[in-house]
Amino acid sequence: MDARTDRGTGNSLLGGMDEPVVRFENVGMRYGVGPEVLSDISFTIAPHSFQFLTGPSGAGKTTLLRLILLSVRPSRGLVSVFGEEVSDISSGALTSLRRRMGVVFQDFRLLDHLTTYENVALPLRVQGRAETSYRAEVVELLRWVGLGERMHVLPPLLSGGEKQRAAIARALIARPELLLADEPTGNVDPQLGRRLLRLFVELNRLGTSVLIATHDFALMDLVDARRFVLGNNRLRIEG
């Protein structure tokens, strides 16, 4: 994958007229009475855009992702997701917004009593879709990520890399408008990491906004995209 792919601007045919997928304005976040772990964070994620989130361990990458996912609320400042300001959002609206996102967690969060196929199909099943409408799509995606022969295996029998690939497939299966990925290539070899990155880029080309948190600078160098860099509780944007 020598050619660098330019995913930096995320401009669609509508240009700047599109509503940001995510907007942070002067956001601060602290847990309890401790010091702020994030201070004065401001940025936007445009529709159809691709960006990385990086910084040293403990810089707040996971906290930032949790704020976007709406699993925590900011201590101060404004967070808007899909045009909805979230400070007083109802539980029903919150669920609706989350369904428009796909998330790849560091700890996989697969259900051990479900097969690989069933874990990946779960978001579609929750939507009430009949299995006949999505089976071929799930099987195709599992084959693409190299799990075609493991689709009927339970997660405890998968390797760490296989669990990571299953988690990525589950996040992608519903074709989310926004994909959040926390170290998605951390448990796979470099060759598979590049293959998974190509999958994220292809998903982005289909219209999904992508934010990948990673320490892997070699991986980031493969895509010409913005970098959100966290350090000393603050954010700077490169590219």
CA atoms of 190 and 223, how far apart (whole Å) = 15
> 116 and 74: one domain?
no
> 13 and 66: one domain?
yes
pTM for this model (two decimals): 0.85
> 145 and 182: one domain?
no
> 67 and 121: one domain?
no
> 74 and 84: one domain?
yes
Q: How far is CA 3 from the centre of its chain?
A: 23
Q: For 76-100, how does the pLDDT look when each residue is reduced to its tens digit (9 = 90+)?
A: 999 999 999 998 888 889 888 998 9
Residue 105 included in any domain: no
> 94 and 32: one domain?
yes
Looking at residue 239, its pLDDT comes to: 83
> 139 and 128: one domain?
yes
> 93 and 190: one domain?
yes
Looking at residue 187, its pLDDT comes to: 73
> 133 and 204: one domain?
no
Looking at residue 15, its pLDDT comes to: 39
Mean pLDDT for 45-72 is 94
Please determine, for residue 12, whether its predicted confidence score (pLDDT) is greater than 50: no
Name the residue range of residue 202's domain: 5-100+177-238
Q: How many CB atoms lie within 10 A of CB 109?
A: 13
> 49 and 161: one domain?
no
Among 176, 172, 150, CA closest to 161: 150
- Name the CA dihedral angle for 158, 156, 67, 32, rounded to a multiple of 10 degrees: -140
Among 59, 92, 87, CA closest to 72: 87
CA atoms within 13 A on the CB side of 157: 11
Residue 84 included in any domain: yes
The average confidence (pLDDT) of the chain is: 89
Q: How many domains does the chain have?
A: 2
182 contact partners, CB below 8 Å, separation of at least 6: 61, 62, 65, 103, 104, 105, 106, 213
| Residue whose tokens read 């509508």 | 14
Q: Read off the amino acid at residue 104.
A: V
Q: For 96-118, how does the pLDDT look when each residue is reduced to its tens digit (9 = 90+)?
A: 899 899 999 888 899 999 999 99
Mean pLDDT for 59-63 is 92
Q: For 173-230, how does the pLDDT look when each residue is reduced to its tens digit (9 = 90+)?
A: 988 999 999 988 877 788 888 888 988 998 899 899 999 999 999 999 999 999 999 9
